[in-house]
Amino acid sequence: SQQGEEDPQALSIQEGENATMNCSYKTSINNLQWYRQNSGRGLVHLILIRSNEREKHSGRLRVTLDTSKKSSSLLITASRAADTASYFCATDPGNYGQNFVFGPGTRLSVLP
Amino acid sequence: GAVVSQHPSWVICKSGTSVKIECRSLDFQATTMFWYRQFPKQSLMLMATSNEGSKATYEQGVEKDKFLINHASLTLSTLTVTSAHPEDSSFYICSAPGYSYSAGELFFGEGSRLTVL
């Protein structure tokens, strides 16, 4: 069953603006990960945040995790047209890749 | 990072034929691989877990006789869609845990788009 739920489902912004996507989940996790998928392609791992971490940065990406609310957010700063893609959160219970659950994804469109 | 190669990237076949999709880990060994199905504008749905040297584990509702999985080596898993029908048309993606699973990430193939006429 799909545990991670992203919102919004679709987001359209202008180049240079920040994009924020949220993810909620239901059960306990070992870590939460964000992936990106360009249209018709495979998924690319962006960032992983462990259950004992609250915030993590990677370049223009900032991820937060609130385990008490079972939610996470992905912030992309200074967006570019090349950031246009679908973004998925995935919860990992820490079972060596098994029982990964992907959310429905947020389709981000960055307009030039 | 680790590389997972998937082949073919797209295939068109007639109804009733079988189609094989390969998933290879190019620079690491993968005792486990995962097969997903993705419909347009939807998320990934796990179909089965492929285990090297043993039988695959299928998710509820996935027909194991329809979607045959063989994980014959530490670098190759195959998914065969048998007697394909138009409703099997979809985007199929494989993944494998990285060589350093303490990192936790999955490495994905580029996906295979199957169209059954």
CATH number at residue A21: 2.60.40.10
Distance CA B38, CA A7 (A): 19
Residue A2 predicted with pLDDT over 50: no
Residue B51 predicted with pLDDT over 70: yes
How far apart are the CA of A59 and the nearest CA of chain B, in angstroms? 17
Whether B44 and A43 lie within 8 Å, measured CB to CB: yes
- Of A11, A30, A41, which to mutate for an interface test with B (greatest number of B Cβ within 10 Å)? A41
Structure token pair of residue A27: 């059960």
Residue B1 predicted with pLDDT over 70: no
Whether B91 and A40 lie within 8 Å, measured CB to CB: yes
Tens of pLDDT, residue by residue over A87-98, are: 999 998 877 667
| Number of CB atoms found within 10 A of residue A87's CB | 23
Q: How many domains does chain A have?
A: 1
Least confident of A68-72, B24-28, B110-114: B24-28
Residue A107 predicted with pLDDT over 60: yes
Residue B102 predicted with pLDDT over 60: no
Question: Backbone dihedral region of A64: left (phi > 0), alpha (psi from -120 to 50 degrees) or beta?
Answer: beta
Confidence category of residue A3, pLDDT binned at 50, 70, 90: low
Query: Which pLDDT does position A4 carry in this prediction?
Result: 60
Structure token pair of residue A78: 């200074």
- Of B25, B54, B94, B105, which to mutate for an interface test with A (greatest number of A Cβ within 10 Å)? B105
A103: nearest CB among B4, B43, B95:
B43
Distance CA B26, CA B37 (A): 22
B104: nearest CB among A2, A41, A92:
A92
DSSP 8-state secondary structure symbol assigned to residue B57: E
Q: Give residue A99's domain range.
A: 5-111
